[in-house]
Amino acid sequence: MISLDKKQPQRGFTLVELLIVVIILAILAAIIVPQFTAATDDASQSAYDSNIANIRAAIDLYRQQHGEYPSAVASTGAGCPAGSANVTGNADTEAAFLAQLQSYTNAAGVACTGTDATFRYGPYLKDDIPVNPIATTTPNNTVNVVTTGILGLASSNTGGWRFDNVTGEFIGDE
């Protein structure tokens, strides 16, 4: 027979114990959350460094082989190999910059989709220009070509890239 006279002590957490656990969790969250933000920023910076190094290397190789930077001359011209097409772009434009880095070129910088003994240079970039991962505006892969000889410190806030075809400077445009 069970006696109903004895009361069993109730077990559970006190309010103080619960408050201590909540405070400890809040402190841990305050320490850990900024670490994730820093890791994301570091990854974006690493991607930017890698992208810009690859593009600058392509620009430097183009300059060594052609004697001038991409987009300094138009990529349009005659005489493409049979079965290939000219990749058009006027001088000092993004179209010429991309055509001359992503297509086969001759010594004069004329860009074609095919190769032969005359169009033996390039392509310097196998893929499209990557998106600027550290842009503060909307990130994109546009290239703003300038011819001032001084790229300057002020950003035009395109979210892409800026290239000076006089000096060969290539930077992210935040």
The answer to whether 122 and 105 have CB atoms below 8 angstroms apart is yes
| Strand ranges, E, within the chain | 104-105, 111-112, 143-146, 161-164, 170-172
pLDDT tens-place values along the chain, 174 residues long: 555 656 767 778 888 999 999 999 999 988 888 777 777 788 889 999 999 999 999 999 999 999 999 999 999 887 899 889 999 999 999 999 999 999 999 999 999 999 999 999 999 999 999 999 988 888 899 998 988 877 665 556 778 899 999 999 999 887
List the 161-164 sheet strands across, edge first: 143-146, 161-164, 170-172
* Residue 57 CA from chain centroid, whole number: 15
The answer to whether 158 and 137 have CB atoms below 8 angstroms apart is yes
The answer to whether 93 and 108 have CB atoms below 8 angstroms apart is no
Model's pTM, two decimal places?
Answer: 0.76
